Amino acid sequence: MNRAVPALDVVSSFALAGAAAAMLVRPRHLSAITRSPIVPVAYGLTRRAAHSLTRRVVPLRPAPRPRRLARLIARVAPPPAATQRAARRLHGSAALLAFSVLADSAVEHYRGSFHNRAMYAPLITAALTLGGSLFGLGDRRAARHPLRDTIYGGAAATGLAGLGFHAYNILKRPGSLSWLNLFYAAPIGAPMALALAGLLGRGAEQVRGTPHRQRPSVRGLPAGRALAALSAAGLAGTAGEAGLLHFRGAFQDPFMVAPITVPPVAATLLATAALFPGRLISHLARWWLRLTALLGFAGVGFHAYGISRNMGGWRNWSQNVLNGPPLPAPPSFTGLALAGLAALSLIQGEHHG
């Protein structure tokens, strides 16, 4: 077998050299030979002989099957542009939530004089999550990043641990679980914003790493519906936290009712669109989520106005910012609304796909 291949190479080399010399020296004779009726027959016999000899010397590999070829293309080809837009929107949502947690926990934990060293953990984790989310927002590559995955996982774990710390802070006080402790102890729902940032960031990484011609999924579930459920739960929980603190403020401003009315409706419409996808419900949910996102930015203005009404106004900002209302809290609604919009776009792709 090994001797036949060099022999064929030598014969073919001499044949090619002779043909080239004949073309240069006797072009007329070469054209007469090509017009001869013997040439097609000799060509067919030579082709069949070469084919049989090649199969004996170098066995031909079978062509890849269509399914294998499709799977190979799915691994290499990038996901659709709509999926990438949804992933970047989820990164933006995680960035807003991380920024809100970073600023809010910095103010609140500074007011608590960092009595417990664990109070530095959310600041560090939120800063890392913010950086990773901004990196993911600008990253155009259709692939997951292991460092961002690790950061988001740490953020989710830190948020859940913070929930335990805040619950312990409430329960250890005299009266345990009472309205007074819920009003003035550590805010029970605040750490969940960091956990949501981590979970949404992990969802963004899984969506952007989806191969071509495959539907995005999160933990084996359709990504659109899973992220819609997470965003709806986050909106409902954030509205509950806002309702608790606005109830402490006796709803002295009529606009204080907005955070406990607009986001719950958005959460309900989003959950309904995830369970029963349709054009009308998706359209209503999309516009209500946009209104919720606008409410998050408007809430910063209302809270700034609330700070200006304290004694000394903004001239005494170093004390009044600590007293509240918290400036960085309302953008959480905007971040969760952006996550809901990304989930709706994924649901629409799943429904039409």
What's residue 10's pLDDT? 55
What's residue 176's pLDDT? 86
Whether 202 and 195 have beta carbons less than 8 Å apart is answered as: no
Collapsing DSSP states into helix, strand and coil, what is residue 311? coil
pLDDT, one tens digit per residue, over 117-137 is 889 999 999 999 999 999 988
Give the start-to-end residue ranges of the domains of the chain.
4-59, 81-352
What's residue 115's pLDDT? 86
Q: How far apart are CA 348 and CA 287, in angstroms?
A: 15
pLDDT at 352 over 80: no
The chain-wide mean pLDDT, for the chain, equals 81
Q: How far apart are CA 146 and CA 143, in angstroms?
A: 10
User: Which of the 8 DSSP states describes residue 211?
Assistant: P
CA-CA-CA-CA torsion for 130, 158, 201, 230, nearest 10 degrees?
-130
Whether 258 and 332 have beta carbons less than 8 Å apart is answered as: no
Whether 78 and 143 have beta carbons less than 8 Å apart is answered as: no
pLDDT, one tens digit per residue, over 7-37 is 545 555 555 566 556 555 555 555 555 555 5
pLDDT, one tens digit per residue, over 135-187 is 988 888 777 888 999 999 999 999 999 999 999 999 999 988 888 888 888 88
221: confidence class by pLDDT, cuts 50, 70, 90: confident
53: confidence class by pLDDT, cuts 50, 70, 90: very low
* Size of the chain in residues: 353
pLDDT at 199 over 90: yes
pLDDT at 223 over 50: yes
Task: Kindly state the average pLDDT of the residues 71-95.
Answer: 72
Q: How far apart are CA 182 and CA 187, in angstroms?
A: 7
The DSSP annotation for 124-140 comes to: HHHHHHHHHHHHHHH--
User: Taking the model in full, what pTM does it have?
Assistant: 0.74
331: confidence class by pLDDT, cuts 50, 70, 90: very high
Whether 86 and 196 have beta carbons less than 8 Å apart is answered as: no
Collapsing DSSP states into helix, strand and coil, what is residue 142? coil
pLDDT at 271 over 60: yes
